[in-house]
Chains A and B, each alone.
Chain A
Amino acid sequence: MGLLAFFVTQSLNALSQAALLFFLGVGLTLIFGIMRIVNFAHGTFYMLGAFVGYSAARLTGSFWLALALAPLAVGIVGALFELGILRRLYRRDESAFLMVTFGLALVLTELIRLGWGPEALQVEAPSVFSGIVFVLGEPFPTYRLFLAGAGILVALAIWQFLERTRLGLLIRATSQNAEMVHALGIDVNLVRSAVFGIGCGLAGVGGVLAAPLVTASIGMAAEMIIDAFVIVIIGGMGSFPGSLLGAVLVAFVQVFGEYYLPDLALAFMYLVMLLVLVVRPGGLLGKEA
């Protein structure tokens, strides 16, 4: 394998991983930006997306329908949780949110275990992306190219949504000054429900897209949530571009770190996070820097 081919294929690998990390990180950061809560159940919504995606793909016979239906279902579950539980806690301190989202993670995990069983389940990549292409003479899975492309498209779509739509404007305004938005006659609670639902739905997208790579399994939430927190801390809590930057940075550090210094593979991500916290405690694009 030539050096150029190596760097190009590894970079594509990193981008495909960055896409999955971004789907999780962006929801986490949007929710924090608006509601100032750390959603410990976010990884579980990602896992729920994978399992619902598995069932939807089996029932409909279509990965694409599963990709549309599962995030919708996860988003609805998230919005209902906000409406039913979180809304009652906004006057409490932050520890209440930690406890209740952590509790939700435990309950959802057990419900998934009861509903789908303890074994990992296979979700096949869509047939159009099940083969390989040759990139500079090296085989590369088309599904990973699709992931990288999907990540870029969704990032652009979220950016446009936040910048160009009324709900996007309200989200940005609420994250800056919720009381002022409320004073202007806007139902801030509705914005919060929408953001929580959208954030969880995006985690669901990540879960469905990750399933052909890692299978739908009970352990997948715990394996991913730490990375998602690291991304948000690196990028800056509440910053949309920060979550994108954090996801790309973490993915590249992991992919190239594992290659050159595999014994330190686990440490790299945390070293980057430590470095960022020392230099810019609020994260690279965070407001409190």
Chain B
Amino acid sequence: MKPAAKMTRRNVAGLAAGGVAAAASPWVVRRAYAAEPIKIGAPLALTGPLGSVGQQLKRGCELWVKWQNQKGGLLGREIKLLLEDTGGNPADAVRKAQEMVERDGCNIFTGITLSSEALAVVPKLDEWNAIFVSSDNGDGRLTAESFVPNFFRGNVSAPMGARAVSLFLRTAPYKSFYAIGMDYAWGRNSVSVFESEMKQAKKNFIGSVFSPIGTKDFSTYITKIRQSGADACYVTMAGDDYNAFLSQAAQYELPKKVQLLSEVVDLTVPRAVGDAALGLISSMRYCFRVDNPKNKEFVAIWEKEYGIPPDNNEGEQWQALQILAAGIDKAKSTGTKVLRGALETIEIDDINGIVPIRKCDHQAVQGGTVVKLVKAEGFSYPVPEIIATFPGDKTVPACNKMTFED
């Protein structure tokens, strides 16, 4: 028979110490984050036709915040993520961001999903005394005619993506081009840059068409592409619209006649449409197959959490938050003015290699990657294979510009 535990003085002391520690633990946690948490506002388009993009940005924000808090937060302060759904509506994006400013005292934003939403938010940043680090917004105007000092773009812009594809096409066999884009700020901006690039390269740019956000039937647009007689078609789409377009284009066997090109492609697209995405050539803002140690570490963290590789916008969101973190570390503050000054001269060495922020228009300078979607071992859907890369000095337009001189 096992002897009963005796209530010795040592046991009592141990119990007492344990009790004190248990009672004190909330205090210990509070003490670790003595100051107010750093609030990062993310008014995301979690629903609507671009909901899949917003969901990627949400996952990127959530994992980064969890990872950073596990490392002790920033400046010894816990990071708190404020999430809201805008439905992809610019007016709602402004309203939800304003609520975060007034209700929560938030002065840092990221993840705003659509360029049209970002273009609506940036004129308010000065009034709100807030910083916005874009992780997704492609419209070139955000760092050109619509640029405001409190805006920073951590992601590849539409002109940069269009430029990477255009540089690839200079040595590709395609001669004549058509373009289709979603009918809003990003789609129109990307197509206009591509058109300018093709004309500059003395290629035959036949024309373009824009489909309203939420288009379900692309038969008419596919007819137009076929009728154009183009060798290749540049596609600027995302979310549900992109899935529907590629599914229907494959049903018309369009890719057998016309090479489909794209400014950007998320892995959610080939996962949703399968072989209909096979052969697509696209620029990618972030590709999980980039070969550098920081990216491998990020991919491992991501796969441990979610079980699949990080997607295009998930990597972009991670990078934008890494830029923000480097800025806060350098500024030793989250005050808008000091943080802005720090971010203007920041340089990170992270998932896409060395990426500096350019002071003149707050654009993150990074290279362009062109991929082709191919079948690969271990994947049930087409995955990107990197077929060309271009350095940042070739893919980033001059300060406050959206087009290229050469």
**Interface positions of A (Cβ within 8 A of B):** 1, 6, 9-10, 13, 16-17, 118-122, 124-125, 130, 132, 139-141, 143-144, 210, 212-215, 217-220, 222-224, 254-256, 258-259, 262-263, 265-266
The contact of A224 among B209, B210, B216, by CB within 8 Å, is B216
Q: Report if A119-B52 is in contact (Cβ < 8 Å); known contacts: A141-B251, A255-B220.
A: yes
Interface of B: prevailing SS: helix
A143 and B51 CA atoms in complex are apart in Å by 28
Q: C-beta contact mask, B204-230 vs A, less than 8 Å → 1, else 0?
A: 000001111011110111011011000
Taking a contact as CB atoms under 8 Å apart, the answer to whether A218 and B243 are in contact is no
Interchain CB contact under 8 A, B220 and A215: no
- Residue B333 CB within 8 A of the other chain: no
**Interface stretch (choices B23-31, B142-150, B270-278):** B270-278
Complex CA gap A9/B210 in Å reads: 21
Q: What chain B residues lie within 8 Å of A254 (beta carbons)? A: 217
10 nearest CB pairs, A to B = A120-B272, A13-B219, A141-B251, A258-B220, A214-B244, A118-B55, A215-B243, A219-B240, A223-B214, A266-B212
In the complex, are the beta carbons of B240 and A214 less than 8 A apart?
Answer: yes
> A119 to chain B: which residues have CB within 8 Å?
52, 55, 268, 271-272
Whole-angstrom distance between the alpha carbons of A121 and B52 in the complex?
A: 12
Provide a sorted-by-A list of 20 A–B residue pairs whose CB atoms are within 8 angstroms.
A1-B223, A1-B226, A118-B51, A119-B52, A119-B272, A121-B272, A213-B216, A213-B217, A213-B244, A213-B251, A214-B240, A214-B243, A217-B240, A219-B240, A223-B216, A258-B221, A259-B223, A262-B211, A262-B220, A265-B212
Selected from B48, B211, B227, the residue in CB contact (under 8 A) with A265 is B211
Tell whether B253 is near chain A: CB-to-CB under 8 Å: yes
A9/B240 contact (C-beta < 8 A), A119-B271, A122-B272, A223-B214 known? no
Q: How far is the CB of B34 from chain A (nearest CB, A)?
A: 37
Residues of B within 8 A of A223 (CB): 49, 214, 216, 240
A139 touches B220 (CB 8 A): no
Tell me whether B252 and A141 are in contact (CB under 8 A).
Answer: yes
Q: Is the CB of B273 within 8 A of A122?
A: yes
Least Cβ–Cβ distance between B90 and chain A, in angstroms: 16
Query: In the complex, are the beta carbons of B223 and A9 less than 8 A apart?
Result: yes
* Residues on A with beta carbons closer than 8 Å to the beta carbon of B322: none
In whole angstroms, how far apart are the Cα atoms of A274 and B134 in the complex?
40
Q: Beyond A217-B240, A223-B240, A262-B209, is A144–B271 a contact (Cβ under 8 Å)?
A: no
- For B211, the chain A residues whose CB sits under 8 A away are 258, 262, 265
CA distance A222 to B223 in the complex (A): 26
- Kindly state whether residue B389 has any CB partner on chain A within 8 Å: no
What are the interface flags for B196-207 relative to A under an 8 Å C-beta threshold, 1 for contact and 0 otherwise?
Answer: 000000000000
Of all chain B residues, the one with the shortest Cβ separation from A218 is B51
Do A215 and B272 touch (CB < 8 A)? Answer: yes
Given contacts A132-B253, A213-B247, A214-B247, contact A219 B214 (CB under 8 A): yes
**With A118-B51, A122-B273, A259-B224 as contacts: A143 and B251 at CB distance below 8 Å:** yes
Q: Is B248 an interface residue, CB under 8 A from the partner?
A: yes
B249 to chain A, nearest CB (A): 10
Q: Mark B233-256, 1 if CB is under 8 A from A, else 0.
A: 000000110011001100111000
Given A10-B220, A120-B240, A132-B252, answer yes or no on A262-B210 (Cβ-Cβ < 8 Å). yes
Complex Cα distance, B47 from A218, in Å, reads 8
Q: What residues of chain A lie closer than 8 Å to B214, measured between beta carbons?
A: 219, 222-223
A224 to B209, CA, bound (A): 22
Q: Beyond A119-B272, A122-B272, is A259–B220 a contact (Cβ under 8 Å)?
A: yes
* Cα separation A23 to B219 with both chains bound (whole Å): 19
**C-alpha gap A11/B55 in the complex (Å):** 37
Instruction: List the B residue with the shortest CB-CB distance to A216.
Output: B272
Query: Closest CB of chain B to A101's CB: distance in Å?
Result: 18
Tell me, rounded to whole Å, the shortest Cβ–Cβ distance linking A156 to chain B: 23
Bound-complex Cα distance A125 to B250 (A): 11
Chain A residues in 8 Å Cβ range of B216: 17, 210, 213-214, 220, 223-224
Interface 1/0 per residue, B10-53 and A, CB below 8 Å: 00000000000000000000000000000000000001110110
- Give the Cβ gap from B367 to chain A, nearest Cβ, in Å: 28
Query: Which of chain A's residues have a CB closer than 8 A to the CB of B209?
Result: 262
Q: Which residues of A contact B273 (CB under 8 A)?
A: 122, 215
Chain B positions within 8 Å of A118 at CB level: 51-52, 55
- Bound complex: CA A96 to CA B231 (Å): 56
Verify B243–A120 contact, CB threshold 8 A: yes
Smallest CB gap from A254: residue in B: B217
* Set of chain B residues within 8 Å of A10, measured between Cβ atoms: 219-220, 223
| Cβ-defined contact, A217 with B212, below 8 A | no
Query: Which of B210, B214, B219: most chain A Cβ within 10 A?
Result: B219
- A14 vs chain B, min Cβ distance (A): 9
Given A1-B227, A16-B219, A119-B272, 15 other A-B residues pairs in contact with their CB atoms under 8 A: A10-B219, A13-B217, A13-B223, A17-B216, A118-B52, A118-B55, A119-B268, A120-B272, A122-B273, A122-B274, A125-B251, A215-B247, A215-B272, A219-B49, A262-B209
Q: Please determine whether A144 and B251 come into contact, CB atoms closer than 8 angstroms.
A: yes
Interface centre among A118, A132, A222 (most CB of B within 10 A): A118
Look across to chain B and name the residue whose beta carbon is closest to the beta carbon of A125.
B251
> What is the bound-complex CA distance between A234 and B240, given in angstroms?
27
In the complex, A1 Cα to B226 Cα: how many Å? 9
B54 to A, closest residue via Cβ: A118
Which residues of chain B come closer than 8 Å to A256, judged between CB atoms?
Answer: 220
Closest A-chain residue to B48, C-beta based?
A219
Once the chains are docked, how many angstroms separate the CA of A31 from the CA of B166?
Answer: 53
State how many angstroms separate the Cβ of A117 from the closest Cβ of chain B: 9
Query: Quick one: closest B residue to A251, CB to CB?
Result: B217
**A139 in contact with B217 given A215-B240, A219-B47, A223-B49 (CB within 8 Å):** no
